Amino acid sequence: MTADELIQLAEVLEIPEPFKTKSRYQFSPVEALCLLCAQFQTATDQFDLAMKYDHCQSSISEVVNELMIYLDDTWGHLLDFDVNFLLNPENLACYAEAIH
């Protein structure tokens, strides 16, 4: 992603400015999003991220965890699937047969 795309994504996701953790660490929306992406991108531990991005490990841990919770609370409803009506197995079989 480009820097402009990350800025735009942080705005669209409505990440608060500043993004504050429970321990009062503060991050810009873009910085919080970038740390979350960095954590998802690598299998290394947060100590490596702390060294690379010059933040203490506890602040990175908090911002990653709390931003995930914020995004899930704010946007999780978009990931819900209607498995009881439109997407139930019988209707899916019917759709597949109609398409076939």
Give per-residue pLDDT as tens, 4-57: 999 999 999 999 999 999 999 999 999 999 999 989 888 777 888 888 888 888
Q: Residue 47 is which amino acid?
A: F
DSSP three-state, residue 35? helix
Burial label, 80 (beta-carbon count in 10 A; 0-12, 13-18, 19+): exposed
For the cut 90, the answer to whether the pLDDT of residue 89 exceeds it is no
Predicted confidence at residue 8, as pLDDT, reads 96
Q: Can you tell me the mean pLDDT for 71-89?
A: 81
pLDDT in the model for residue 9: 95
Pick the closest to residue 34 from 59, 56, 58, 63 (CA basis).
Answer: 63
For residue 50, count CB atoms less than 10 angstroms from its CB and return exposed for 0-12, middle for 13-18, buried for 19 or more. Answer: middle
pLDDT at residue 64 above 90?
A: yes
Mean pLDDT, residues 77-95 taken together: 80
